[in-house]
Structure 1
Amino acid sequence: MASHKILVIDDSNVIRNMVRDMLPKGNFEVLEAKDGVQGLNLIRQERPNLIMLDFLLPRLSGWEVYQQIQTQQDLQAIPLVLMSGRKEEVTEKLQEPFEYFEFVQKPFDQKELIDAIKAAMAKSKRRPISAPAAAAVPAAAVPVAAAPAESGASSTEVQALKDKVAKMQAEIDGLKKQMSQILTFIKQKLR
Structure 2
Amino acid sequence: MANHKILVIDDSRVIRARVRDMLPNGNFEVIEASDGIEGIDAIRAQKPNLIMLDFLLPRMSGYEVYQEIQSVPEFQSIPLVMMSGRREELTEKIQEPFEFFEFIEKPFEQKELIGAIKGAMAKARKVRPQSATATSTSGGDASAEVAALQKQVEVLAKEVAALKVQNSKILAFIKKKLA
TM-score bin, normalised by smaller chain: 0.7 to 0.9
Secondary structure at the aligned position of 1:14 is classed as: helix
Letter aligned with residue 93 of structure 1: K
Deviations, residues 141-191 of structure 1 (Å, cap 9, x unaligned): xxxxx9xxxxxxxxxxxxxxxxxxxxxxxxxxxxxxxxxxxxxxxxxxxxx
Aligned to 1:131: 130
Using the alignment, how far apart are the partners of 1:35 and 1:113 within structure 2?
21
Pairs aligned (count): 135
Using the alignment, how far apart are the partners of 1:42 and 1:12 within structure 2?
17
Aligned to 2:175: none
Q: Does 1:105 align with 2:105?
A: yes
Letter aligned with residue 13 of structure 2: N
| Residue 133 of structure 1, CA deviation | 6.9
- Segments of 5+ residues of structure 2 without an aligned counterpart are 136-179
Using the alignment, how far apart are the partners of 2:100 and 2:126 within structure 1?
7
Aligned positions of 1:1-191 closer than 5 A: 1-128=1-128, 131-132=130-131, 134=133
- Segments of 5+ residues of structure 1 without an aligned counterpart are 136-145, 147-191
Moved over 6 A (4+): none
Using the alignment, how far apart are the partners of 1:131 and 1:19 within structure 2?
33
Letter aligned with residue 132 of structure 1: S
Kindly report the root-mean-square deviation, in angstroms, between the aligned alpha carbons of the 2 structures. 1.5
Secondary structure at the aligned position of 1:41 is classed as: helix
Using the alignment, how far apart are the partners of 2:59 and 2:47 within structure 1?
21
| Residue 56 of structure 1, CA deviation | 0.2
Secondary structure at the aligned position of 2:78 is classed as: coil
| Residue 134 of structure 1, CA deviation | 3.4
Deviations, residues 76-112 of structure 1 (Å, cap 9, x unaligned): 1111000000000000011111111100000000000
Secondary structure at the aligned position of 1:78 is classed as: coil
Question: Do the aligned partners of residues 110 and 76 (structure 1) sit closer, same or farther apart at CA in structure 2, a change above 3 Å counting?
Answer: same
Using the alignment, how far apart are the partners of 1:125 and 1:71 within structure 2?
17
Letter aligned with residue 122 of structure 1: A
Secondary structure at the aligned position of 2:107 is classed as: coil
Letter aligned with residue 47 of structure 2: R
Using the alignment, how far apart are the partners of 1:123 and 1:105 within structure 2?
18
The percent of aligned pairs where both chains have the same amino acid is 67
Deviations, residues 42-62 of structure 1 (Å, cap 9, x unaligned): 001111000000000000000
Question: Do the aligned partners of residues 133 and 38 (structure 1) sit closer, same or farther apart at CA in structure 2, a change above 3 Å counting?
Answer: farther
